[in-house]
Structure formats: C-alpha cells, structure tokens
Amino acid sequence: MSVAVGSKPSQSEDLRNLTLSGHVGFDSLPDQLVNKSTTQGFCFNILCVGETGIGKSTLMDTLFNTKFEGDPASHNEPGVRLKAQSYELQESNVRLKLTTVDTVGFGDQINKEDSYKPIVEYIDAQFEAYLQEELKIKRSLFNYHDSRIHACLYFIAPTGHSLKSLDLVTMKKLDSKVNIIPIIAKADTIAKNELHKFKSKIMSELVSNGVQIYQFPTDEETVAEINATMSVHLPFAVVGSTEEVKIGNKMAKARQYPWGVVQVENENHCDFVKLREMLIRVNMEDLREQTHSRHYELYRRCKLEEMGFKDTDPDCKPFSLQETYEAKRNEFLGELQKKEEEMRQMFVMRVKEKETELKEAEKELHEKFDRLKKTHQDEKKKLEDKKKEIEDEVGAFSKKKAAVQLLQAQQASSQSTKKDKDKKKFLPFLKHPKTWRPLLTL
Amino acid sequence: MAEPQSKPDPDPEPKTEATVTGQDLFGYVGIESVLDQMKRKAVKTGFEFNIMVVGQSGLGKSTLVNTLFKSKVSRKSCNPSFEEGISKTVNLQSISHVIEEKGVKMKLTVIDTPGFGDQINNLNCWEPIMKYINEQYEKYLKEEININRKRKIPDTRVHCCVYFVPPTGHCLRPLDLEFMKRLGKVVSVVPVIAKSDTLTLDERQRFKERIRQDLWTNGIKVYPQKEYDEDAEDRILNDKIREKIPFAVVGTDKEHQVNGKNVLGRKTNWGVIEVENVAHCEFANLRDLLIRSHLQDLKDVTHNIHYETYRVRRLNESNLNGIGLSASPLASMNGTAVRKESESNL
C-alpha cells in the first residue's frame, strides 16, 4: 500500500468568511487568553534616566501610589551605575511585577562622556539574557521573568532653554534600544508661557537630531483619539509628590508653597495625569509589545549577524545557507584541531621536561647513595680496627692477669709450706706421749 | 570615542536587590486596565486554531465539525461535487476559513484525513498524519530561528486532534490504540465516540469505562493530561472532564421542531435526538471543552509542550548530524559551548 502524502494542504489563499448560524462561543477567547496571563502575572520594567535629585524616585512613588523603599543617592558617585529594584503590586486580581531601574550618578561626573555606556550595556544585557534563553535547547519561555526594559522615562532638567548636549547624546544612543518617553521634571519651576516655548524647543531639537521617541499607537480606533491628543503635549511636564495637602474638602497630592499649592493631579497645573494615562492605563501592553517585536528583534538580528549567520530570502534555496553553515563548521573544526594539536604539543613538552627532571633527581639520588655507602664502609672499617685493638688489649690483659695469679699462687704456696714446716716441728713434740704424762698424772 | 580620562565605574552590573515586597497601593493606579489592553490587542490580531479530525470514513467527522462551528467548514461542504469514494491513500486536506463572532475573528483550519483506516491493510496509516504534524512544527521552527523573522509567525501547528472511535460498544481496536499511542506524544488527542446514538445510556457508560480502562492500561495520555495541570483549580476542572471522556457525540446540521422550538437534531422514527441536549448526547460538553473553555489552553499546550519537545529533539539531532537546520545558530552555539568546555578540561 503506497502511503503517499497529499500533504500540500489545499489552502485557499483568499480565505472565505463564513457566517455562523448560531452561537458557537469562541468570543470567550480573549477572556481565556487574559485569564491565563492573570494567573501568571505581568511584568513591567521602567528605566528612569536623569540627573541625581531630579525627582525620579518621587515620580515613581507618585505614579504607582505607593512608597518604594530606597535612600536618595549621593552626588559623589565615580560613575554611572544602574540600580534595579523589583516590586510586586496587586490591584484587584491583577499582579504586576514592577521593576524600576534607576541611573545612579548620572550627570554628576566632571567628564560625562561615558555616562550613557552603563545604561546601554544594561539594556543590552537584558536582551542578551532573553536571547540566550530563547536559543537554549531546553528552554522555558512561558515562565521566564522578563527583565527587558519596556519604557524609559528620560528626565529633562527644567532649564527653560533647550536640551543639554548630554541629554541629546544619551537619547540618541538609547532610541533604537528602548521606548523613550521624555518628560520635563520639576515642572513647577517653569511658568506656563515659558513651558510652551520650552516644549516646542525640545521637540524640534529631538526631531532635528533624529531622535526617535516612542510614538503612541494610533492604529486602533479605541485609543487612537486619546493617543493623538496626548501626543501633542509631549514632553510631559510633571510634578511628583507623595505628600497630601488639603484642598477644598479633600486630600490631594500636592506641593505646598507660600504662594500657592501645585496639585499633582490637576491637569491645569501639570501633565502628570496625562503621563499616568499614557504610561499605564492606555499603552502598557503596547510598550511591552514594541519592546519585544521591535527593539528585541533588532537586537537579535544584529547579534546573530555579528556571529556570522546570514539569512536569505524565504524563497531562496537553502543550499547557500547550508554552505555557510558547513563552511563555518569546518572553520570551527579546523580551529579546534589546531587547538588540540597545540595542547598535545604542550602536553608532550611538559612530559619531557618532567622526565628529564626526574632523571636528574634519580642520578642525584644514586650518587648520594654511593657516597653514603662509602662513608658507611669507612666507618665500618674503622670500627673493626678498633675492635681488633681492643681484643688485643684484652688478650694482653688476660695474660697479665694469669701471670699475676700464678705469682700469687706461688707466693701463697711458699707461705703455706713454711707453716707446714713449723707445724712439723711442733707436732711431733705434741704427739710424743712421755711429754704428755707428767701433765696427765697430776 | 576618546578614551576617558577618568575611567567610570567598570562594574556596570546593576545591583538587583530582589526585594519583592507585596506593596499595598494607596490609591487606584489603573494597573488592571492592562487586561483590557491585552484583550483589545488580541481581538485586533485575531486568533488561529487548527483542528484535525481523524477516523474511518462514514463516522461523521465532517458533520461534527460543521455542527461544532455552526457553519459549513468541512471539506465535504466546500467541494459539493466531490465524489465520496474510498481513496487508496491517506490524504490530508486542510481547509481554512475565517469566522467571526462578536468582534472576535478566528482563522479556523480543519484538517481532514480521508482514507484513514479504510484500507484492508492499515499498517502505518498514521504515518502521513505524523509526518504532517511534524512538518508544521518544522515550519514554525524554521521561521522562529530565522534572523529576519516575521512579527507574527503563522501558526499552522495542529492544536487539537479529534479521534473518532466507532461505536462498537466493546473496546478500543488495535488500530485505535496504536494511533492514539503514537499521536498522543506529539499532539493533544481528544477521543470521541462517534455516532453514539446507536448506544443506549448503559451501553454508553460501559463502553466509556472500557475505553478509559484501555487507555490507562496502554499508557495513552489524552487531553487534558494530568501532568499539565497548573494549579488546584485547573486540576478540579480537568478531573471533571477526565471522568467524562471520551465524549459520546452526535452530529447534525439539520434543524427540527421539538416542543415548538427549533433544535439541531436527528429525526428518526422513534424520536428526535437533540444534539445540544446533555441528556441525549455529550456534544455540548465537547463543544464547551474545545471552544468555550479550553481553546486557549489547547494552543498553549501545543506551543509550550509539544512544540518544545519537538524543538529539543530536532536541535539535538541537528547537533549530532550537522545537517538539516539552515542558519542554525542554536546548533552551533550549543555545540561550540559543549566543545569549548570539553577542550578546556583537557
């Protein structure tokens, strides 16, 4: 039985639109999709770039209606470093993992040429981490904690004139990597009419320098209108405050001055409400999507091309790619072989060296052994000589001793013969009985 | 770029103080509007769903699909002049339509498998199907590892495979077992008892138990798989479903009058079998499972589990052979990483 596959699907290019004759029920699909994400939670990462003391932390607190922990930074940092802090916020049933990244020490150095570098490196590092995860063989993308920066709030100092060159340079470096939203910080220092001039100056400078800031999406009907009206007010002039002041009969976030009260949430006073709308309530999802589909894809493309992988058009033959791959592979294998050879050489050399060393050591040892042996023999000989001497002496001594003993014995015997003689003289007198009798008859 | 006179802090590593504290918000921020944003975006991009129906001819596959989606989506309806004959080979045909309901657009693709199990010798009749499924994974994988890839990769992977079991009333046949065993590893299989109006309720119950027994004995995992239950809620829900599978369904596209109402049903001399009546058959349960509650889950399981399994297997293969995947940065990267490690340990 021939198991041929008619697997080229007869897919009609122009898909027919069918009408349903009843309620099927897949209109619950968006809800299903959203439910899944709700259980997982959302990630949102904001990067705040601005000089020390410009109000980054305060603005974050005001935006998210909470007091984030952290001490104000000093002005003595030797370089720019990024400090990231993560928080879990919960509102009704939505969990948000918010990460705020602060640039500590930005604009404080005397030489600010490299101030943007740590920022760019950080953003790239997050992309790299995601890319590595994506390219792994065994990967788990669906519960990966996304640390890529979704929005960058660039704090412009309220000089009232124009952008600083540091701002321009930094924004130019960042615009292809992250969604930049420029905001004018501490906007309560600028008067209304100056503000308008300042804003247009900034926007024209951005345009003339080719800085691409984040464009609020206007393709969807529901949000197009609001986004279009808001875009006119860019950059947003914000005032941040976490202190509450009594206004009228309710408490509102505001800054109290002797000459009046600047209300944070009053649209006539500052654009904070607009920023909050745009950032959170309307475009959060779009910011995340842009980060993933534009900035991350660009990074990925550049990185992969850097590594030498080329792509061809989809309808091109795969052979050229095969060739590139094969060529790369061979090149790599050749390198590997070379390295292997090198290592082997090194290994052999080392072994030789060690061998000669050991041989020398052996020789030394032999010599030492011989020397020692010789000394030992000398000693032994000496000792034997001594021994012999002593034995001779002992022999001589014993002879002498014997001679002395003999002499003594002779002397002793000569004395005892004298005694005997005396005894002999006397004894017979004792033994004769006549001599006795007179004694006994008494 | 001039060399800096005063070298800035060389340590660009951010001190990620992972102080994840559950903050209480002092006022309304508006985070939950992200849900609406997501929904709007999802509705704008539309959904895709690919369903495959497998079973012998005459089991009512096309009719069931038509009933499920309440429109003429199946192959038969599209080619009315098509002569229904026993084909010599297993041909896979996929038809796509766009259906819309309450603003939600869905591109539905139905993949039909005429000729399955129809020959005298059915050895390896599952192979064309496996091949098709793997081809779709391959297509997706190729697109994903492209350097210049599309924003939205067209998803032709089979999300769900509905397997039609003939209503013999006894047990699963060797062909069924063999097929489900093989396919259960690459795709989510949902078995249904076709033309179940030939079984009485008792017979149906016994048959189902028998089928569940057979599945369990042979180690066949059908959707929803126990291992992929994420939390207790899911488990409870899915357990209820698992008690009822395989669903006994009846399909029809004709309407009849019952008690003054128009219902979808099959009219016989002894009564009308109402398709959407849960007392009569379990079509409504199947529809709820497939469409109303688990459609997204089916897609997720396909993407996160079956596709990833395929990807792992494929990348390991291409590592070993050095062929196949064009522009495989992954293969080289992973290969080089492994080799570099082994070299440094020399």
The predicted-structure confidence for B127-165, as pLDDT tens digits, reads as follows 888 889 999 998 888 888 877 787 788 888 999 999 998
Of A241-250, A359-368, B331-340, the range with the highest mean pLDDT is A359-368
Average pLDDT, rounded, for chain A? 81
Exposure class string for A384-404: b at 16+ Cβ within 10 A, else e:
eeeeeeeeeeeeeeeeeeeee
**Hey, are the CB atoms on A30 and B5 less than 8 Å from each other?**
no
**Hey, are the CB atoms on A88 and B21 less than 8 Å from each other?**
yes
| B92–chain A Cβ distance below 8 A for any pair | yes
CA nearest A115 in B: which residue?
Answer: B8
pLDDT score of A248: 77
Taking one residue from A and the other from B, the number of pairs with CB-CB distance under 8 angstroms is 329
pLDDT band at A441 (very low <50, low <70, confident <90, very high): low
pLDDT tens readout for residues A186-201: 888 888 888 888 888 8
pLDDT tens readout for residues B253-281: 777 777 777 788 888 888 888 888 888 88
pLDDT score of B75: 61
pLDDT band at A392 (very low <50, low <70, confident <90, very high): very high
| B217–chain A Cβ distance below 8 A for any pair | no
Shortest Cα distance, chain A CAs vs residue B206, angstroms: 30
**Hey, are the CB atoms on A88 and B16 less than 8 Å from each other?**
no
Question: Is the pLDDT assigned to residue B339 strictly greater than 70?
Answer: no
pLDDT score of A435: 57
Higher pLDDT, A323 or A124: A124
Poorest-pLDDT segment among A221-225, A229-233, A274-278? A221-225
| A20–chain B Cβ distance below 8 A for any pair | yes
Query: What average pLDDT does range A241-254 have in this prediction?
Result: 80
pLDDT band at B324 (very low <50, low <70, confident <90, very high): very low
pTM, whole model, 2 decimals? 0.70
The ipTM estimated for the assembled molecules is 0.74
* Alpha carbon B50 to its chain's center: 7
pLDDT score of A344: 94
Question: Is the pLDDT assigned to residue B77 strictly greater than 50?
Answer: yes
pLDDT score of B327: 43
| A212–chain B Cβ distance below 8 A for any pair | no
**Hey, are the CB atoms on B128 and A118 less than 8 Å from each other?**
no
Higher pLDDT, A253 or A72: A253
Residues of chain A contacting B21 with CB distance shorter than 8 Å: 69, 87-88
Poorest-pLDDT segment among B239-253, B315-329, B330-344? B330-344
What percentage of chain B has pLDDT greater than the value 70?
A: 79
- Option in A9, A31, A39 nearest B94 (CB): A9
pLDDT score of A63: 83
Q: Are B186 and B130 in contact (CB under 8 A)?
A: yes
**Hey, are the CB atoms on A289 and B33 less than 8 Å from each other?**
no
Residues of chain B contacting A169 with CB distance shorter than 8 Å: none
Question: Is the pLDDT assigned to residue B58 strictly greater than 60?
Answer: yes
- Return the residue in A32, A150, A222 with the most chain B beta carbons within 10 A, the one to mutate for interface testing: A32
| A419–chain B Cβ distance below 8 A for any pair | no
Query: What average pLDDT does range A17-46 have in this prediction?
Result: 80
pLDDT tens readout for residues A293-321: 889 988 988 888 877 665 544 333 333 44
pLDDT tens readout for residues A47-73: 999 888 888 888 888 887 777 766 666
pLDDT score of A162: 84
- Option in A42, A87, A222 nearest B21 (CB): A87
**Hey, are the CB atoms on B30 and A280 less than 8 Å from each other?**
yes
B189 phi-psi bin (left φ>0, alpha ψ -120 to 50, beta other) = beta
Question: Is the pLDDT assigned to residue A359 strictly greater than 90?
Answer: yes
Exposure class string for A308-328: b at 16+ Cβ within 10 A, else e:
ebebbeeeeeeeebbebbeeb
pLDDT band at A326 (very low <50, low <70, confident <90, very high): low
Poorest-pLDDT segment among A17-26, A171-180, A330-339, B15-24? B15-24
Query: What average pLDDT does range A318-347 have in this prediction?
Result: 76
pLDDT band at A105 (very low <50, low <70, confident <90, very high): confident
- Return the residue in A2, A13, A24, A316 with the most chain B beta carbons within 10 A, the one to mutate for interface testing: A24
Question: Is the pLDDT assigned to residue A92 strictly greater than 80?
Answer: no
Higher pLDDT, A148 or A429: A148
A contact residues 261-320, partner B, Cβ 8 Å cutoff: 276-277, 280-286, 289, 293, 297, 300-301, 304-305, 307, 309-311, 314, 318
pLDDT score of A215: 84
Classify B175 as helix, strand or coil: helix
pLDDT score of B79: 58
pLDDT band at A347 (very low <50, low <70, confident <90, very high): very high
- Return the residue in B21, B25, B37 with the most chain A beta carbons within 10 A, the one to mutate for interface testing: B37
- Option in A122, A281, A285 nearest B30 (CB): A281
pLDDT band at A14 (very low <50, low <70, confident <90, very high): low
Report the 3 state secondary structure along chain A: CCCCCCCCCCCCCCCEEECCCCCCCHHHHHHHHHHHHHHHCEEEEEEEECCCCCCHHHHHHHHCCCCCCCCCCCCCCCCCEEEEEEEEEEECCEEEEEEEEEEECCCCCCCCCCCHHHHHHHHHHHHHHHHHHHHCCCCCHHHCCCCCCCEEEEEECCCCCCCCHHHHHHHHHHCCCCCEEEEECCHHHCCHHHHHHHHHHHHHHHHHCCCCCCCCCCCCHHHHHHHHHHHCCCCEECCCCCCEEEECCEEEEEEEECCEEEECCCCCCCCHHHHHHHHHHHCHHHHHHHHHHHHHHHHHHHHHHHCCCCCCCCCCCCHHHHHHHHHHHHHHHHHHHHHHHHHHHHHHHHHHHHHHHHHHHHHHHHHHHHHHHHHHHHHHHHHHHHHHHHHHHHHHHHHHHHHHHHHHHHHHHHHHHHHHHHHHHHHHHHHCHHHHHHHHCC
- CA dist A335 and A332 (Å) reads 5
A contact residues 82-111, partner B, Cβ 8 Å cutoff: 82-94, 96-97, 101, 105, 109-111
CA nearest B319 in A: which residue?
Answer: A137
Report how far apart the first and last C-alpha atoms of chain B are (Å, whole number): 41
What percentage of chain B has pLDDT greater than the value 90?
A: 1
pLDDT band at A75 (very low <50, low <70, confident <90, very high): confident
